[in-house]
């Protein structure tokens, strides 16, 4: 079958499921194109940004860093020694307690022997002396460890205090380095944004041209999907890489261009309307029994003495809106011929519609008054 066209435009629309499938495929194509464009622009993010280590080396004093490192190592070493000495103190404390208990038991045993007027044997006396000596040795070792713990604690506090005194100077320099890094990273992000826009803006212009070129083509869903994907990617890139105060000027300029273009298009539609646009206007006006040019009621036949508007027309009975008599009619308000005699079948036809409803004769609509 040939591609069906009428005076109102293309009528090969297909069944409802075909139209919905077309819209669904267009939406899926839009998502795939957006993802594909993202793959192309995301490679720009692989460009390395500023190195924080290099910036920090530039701002931090090498002597202060070396001093901080030495104090940090010294503090950690003292803390390890302090933990070891604390462990030794616990061990010596347990040994001292054990030796003291043994010595105390032997002393009690000697007291019992004295009370019974008995003398300790040489072995028992040696055991008592050894227990006493061992208790005194463990006690001395515990006291030495305790003294060492005190020294280490004092040295640890001194190292920590020196490290705390050094931190403000280094922190001030680190803050300057962090601020410089943040500024450089923000500049890098904007530069990446401009790099992405250098790819996206030509794509946006090409998609806009395709959108205009294929506006009346059956292949326009491809241009719609591409234009929508590129526009959304451009918008996402602008919001991601640029602050609002930077975007306000291009957004306002774009808004002026868009609104100006829309206003120009609306005015151009009124001054130089397309045939399809006029046919829709004329069709709706004829269905409402109103003049397509000035909206004055078309009073013919049974409608001659009635009053109605577009909203109240449906309330009229079907007998009231029967077909008018077969005679020409001119709008008494704007003098536009609304019904005329068909030159082919000589019956009355709509003057502002392309085809005669009786014989199907089509006339040239380019001479129809706007």
- What is the maximal distance between C-alpha atoms in the chain? 162
| pLDDT for 88 beyond 80 | no
Domains in the chain: boundaries? 15-241, 273-370
Strand partners, 337: 330
Residue 2 predicted with pLDDT over 60: no
Rounded distance between C-alpha atoms, residue 62 and residue 58, angstroms? 9
Round to whole Å and give the CA distance between 188 and 185. 5
What 8-state DSSP symbol labels residue 120? P
pLDDT in tens, 211-237: 778 877 778 888 888 888 888 888 887
Helix (H) or strand (E) holding 339: strand 337-341
End-to-end CA distance of the chain: 35
pTM: 0.46
240, 263, 265, 235: which is closest to 250 by C-alpha?
235
Tokens of 59: 């701002």
Q: Look up residue 32 and give its two tokens.
A: 């795939």
Residue 50: which of 189, 194, 179, 185 has the closest Cα? 185
Predicted local confidence at residue 1, as pLDDT = 40
More confident residue, 250 or 333: 333
* Cβ atoms of 234 and 204 closer than 8 Å: yes
């Amino acid at each position: 079958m040939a591609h069906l066209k009428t005076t109102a435009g293309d009528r090969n629309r297909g069944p409802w499921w075909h139209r919905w499938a077309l819209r669904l495929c267009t939406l899926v194509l839009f998502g795939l194109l957006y993802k594909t464009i993202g793959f192309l622009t995301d490679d720009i993010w692989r460009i390395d940004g500023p190195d924080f280590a290099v910036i920090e080396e530039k701002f931090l004093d090498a002597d202060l860093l070396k001093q901080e490192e030495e104090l940090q190592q010294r503090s950690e070493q003292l803390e390890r020694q302090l933990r070891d000495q604390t462990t030794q103190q616990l061990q010596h404390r347990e040994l001292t307690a054990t030796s003291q208990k043994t010595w105390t038991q032997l002393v009690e045993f000697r007291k019992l022997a004295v009370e019974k007027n008995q003398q300790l044997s040489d072995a028992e006396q040696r055991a008592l002396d050894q227990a006493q000596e061992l208790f005194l040795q463990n006690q001395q070792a515990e006291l030495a460890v305790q003294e060492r713990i005190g020294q280490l604690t004092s040295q640890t506090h001194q190292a920590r205090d020196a490290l705390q005194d050094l931190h403000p100077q280094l922190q001030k320099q680190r803050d300057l380095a962090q601020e410089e890094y943040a500024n450089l990273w923000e500049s890098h992000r904007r530069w990446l944004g401009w790099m992405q826009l250098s790819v996206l803006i030509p794509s946006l212009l090409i998609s806009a041209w395709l959108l205009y070129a294929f506006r009346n083509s059956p292949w326009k869903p491809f241009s719609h999907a591409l234009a929508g994907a590129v526009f959304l990617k451009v918008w996402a890139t602008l919001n991601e890489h640029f602050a609002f105060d930077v975007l306000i000027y291009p957004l306002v300029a774009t808004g002026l261009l868009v609104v100006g273009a829309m206003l120009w298009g609306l005015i151009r539609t009124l001054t130089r309307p397309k045939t399809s646009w006029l046919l829709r206007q004329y069709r709706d006006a004829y269905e409402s029994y109103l003049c397509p040019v000035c909206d004055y009621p078309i009073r013919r036949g049974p409608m001659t003495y009635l009053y109605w508007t577009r909203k109240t027309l449906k309330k009229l009975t079907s007998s009231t809106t029967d077909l008018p008599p077969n005679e020409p009619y001119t709008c008494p308000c704007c003098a536009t011929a609304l019904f005329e005699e068909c030159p082919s079948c000589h019956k009355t036809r709509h003057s502002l519609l392309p085809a005669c409803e009786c014989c199907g004769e089509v006339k040239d609509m380019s001479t129809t008054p706007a």
